[in-house]
Each structure stands twice: as structure tokens, then as C-alpha cells.
Structure 1
């Protein structure tokens, strides 16, 4: 049995775990790329940062994505243009800001930061994260909702997410103090 067939068998047998593991992989790869190829190479590699991002993928992104996209597909089945446009609009106007709050909140919590730090991060970076998302996810989700089978949605999202996670990793790990200097 090939890798693709094994993945699909695992997806059918344990969809939540498979999607969580797929998100773990996507977020881990995105942070590794960000730290090694995008950010200041003078800083040493931060393995705990990669663990934080990967654990977010596993615990939050994969699980909430499984339920959110499953719910969306159950309420709005099909691939008619109006359905696809509605799903993209819901994803980007409702889910996207919620996801951003979860992302920054998770990082804040696992780093032991205060609620004031979280509020500052949301004020300074949520709009950037949401608007940055539009450039990537509006076209990506148009393809997703029109052509990707529901069971494969999170794999497709995580494939795109690897590149997008470079941006999220950078933004999520940029300190409030760094932003005040700019």
C-alpha cells in the first residue's frame, strides 16, 4: 500500500487524529522554515518555539479545523459558486479572526505571558494576521471549497499552511517591544 493510500486509510479510520498530526507537521515545518530561512540568522535556533508551534497545530488547528470545516460542509454542501463564495466569506470574516485569537492566545499561554500581553498582541497583530490571511486564503479556499473533497480539506489547507505558517510564525513570535521600535 502506497503512502497516499495509507494516509487515506488512516484518515478514514481516525480522522481527528490524522488531521491533528497533519497540522502538527504543517506548523512544525512552517516554523523551521521561518527560523532557518526568513528571520535573522544571527539568533540561535529555538527548538521550544518549534515545539510550541507544532503543538498548536496538533492541539488546536487540526482539531478545530476538523470540526469547523465539517460543520461548514454539513450546513452548506456542494460546490455551486454561491456556496463556495459563502464558505470563503464565513471562513475569512468569522473563522479567521477567531483563529487569530486562538493562535495568539495559545502562544501567550504556553509562554506564560499575562492577559495584558495577550491584549497587546491582539491589538497590534490581529489585524495584520487577518488581512495577511486574505491574500492567501481567499484564493486558496475558493479552490478548496470548489474542488477538494471534504475529507481532504485539512490536508490541502495544511499544504498551503506550511508557507503561510512562515508568516504566522514570524508574526506570532515578534515581541510587542520589537513592534514598538518599528
Structure 2
């Protein structure tokens, strides 16, 4: 009778096969990630306003979800309508205005040197930030049924503290955005920074309405 041949697998071949398999999985994941990034950048160039608006909306949804669930007591129910308001604001207002604002800043101040970057930052703090805060608080209050006097009272109470906190948070974010990123990516970078800010501002907007005083 013939002797059966034993099949021996060396430890080296096992390790080599495992490493090859791991490398293949990593390469596939890397390719998928690169594919998504490439697709997103392509959408930013082909449909800039729509892409940036959808991105803003998704970030506002995530931020409001965090804002409601982090401090929420177990007895409180999740306010889906509030999240819908935030999603609509990001989609219809913030996303488009960010696109046109950053393009405007790029045309007015085309350089990316230090002085020009500070000019763009100053414009954001003096013009864009205050205007968008007024729009955000006013629109959110109006959608909740508040009248003109109540909206004015809310702005008197909440606008200045929000602007002061914004002056501590946004300058460094704007510096990084304007200095190190091309204009077509600046709304995405700003939106990324706005995640934490949006958690704060959605909390401010959800506070109980103040009592409007006559005169």
C-alpha cells in the first residue's frame, strides 16, 4: 500500500496568508473611503449649492439630536418637529448662504495670507454671524407661533450672549477655514466646526419664550 502524503502548513504561510487577507480588507476599506470622498468632492463641484445645503441639513440634524438627548431627562419626549425645523434651516438657509458668503469673501479678498485671513474673520464676526443669528432666532421663534413682540423680546435676551460666545468660538475656526482650505471646501469645514456650535444655539433657541414687556 502506498503511503499517504501529509500536507504540512508552515507557520510562515499561515501568517503570510493572514497578513495578505488583512491587507486586502484594509485596501478595500481605504478604496471605499476614497471613493466616497471622491464622489463628495465631485458633487461639491458639479452641484455646489445642493451638496452644501444637504450637508448643512445633516449636521443640524445630528447637532439637534445631540442637543436634545444629552441633557434630556428620561420623562421628556424627543421633539421631532424641532429637529425638522433645524433640518429645514440648514437645508434652505444656512447651506446656500454659506456657499455664497465664502464665494463673496474669496472675490473680495482673494489672497490667503495672514492679513487677508484676519479681514475675512472680521467680516464674519461683524456681518455674517450677527445676521445669521438674528435670522435663526427669529425664524425659529416664528415657526413656533411667537408674535413680533415675543420675537423681539427673545432677541433682546438671547442675541447678545450668543454673539459673545460666538466671538470666543468662531475666530479660531474661521482662521483655520480661510487660511488652510480652498473656497469650495470652506462651507464643509465651517459646517464641521458648527456641529458643537449648533448644539449650543439649538439649546438657546429652545429656551422658553421671555415675557414681552410693553414699551
Q: TM-score range by the shorter chain?
A: over 0.9
Structure 2 length-normalised TM: 0.79
Contact 2:153 2:210 in 1 (8 A): no
Which ranges of 4 or more aligned residues in structure 1 deviate by more than 6 Å?
none
User: How far off is 1:42 after superposition?
Assistant: 3.4
RMSD: 1.4
Q: Please give the secondary structure, in 2, of the residue aligned with 1:44.
A: coil
Contact 1:39 1:170 in 2 (8 A): no
Relative contact order (C-alpha < 8 Å, sep 6+): which is higher?
A: 1
Aligned to 2:63: 30
Distance 1:78 1:42 in 2: 53
1:31-70 pair list within 5 angstroms: 31-70=64-103
Distance 2:42 2:133 in 1: 31
User: How far off is 1:41 after superposition?
Assistant: 4.5
- Structure 1 unaligned regions, length at least 5: none
Structure 1 length-normalised TM: 0.93
Distance 2:62 2:161 in 1: 22
User: How far off is 1:121 after superposition?
Assistant: 1.0
Deviations 1:44-85 (A, max 9, x none): 110000000111111110011111111111110121111000
Distance 2:176 2:126 in 1: 18
Distance 1:98 1:84 in 2: 20
Aligned to 2:144: 111
Q: Give the number of the structure whose alpha-carbon radius of gyration is greater.
A: 2
- Structure 2 unaligned regions, length at least 5: 1-33
Change (3 A) 1:34 1:41: farther
Higher helix share: 1
Distance 1:175 1:53 in 2: 17
Equivalent in 151, 164, 175 of residue 142 of structure 1 = 175
Number of residue pairs matched by the alignment:
178
Distance 2:74 2:173 in 1: 30
User: How far off is 1:40 after superposition?
Assistant: 4.2
Distance 2:75 2:169 in 1: 29
Aligned to 1:99: 132
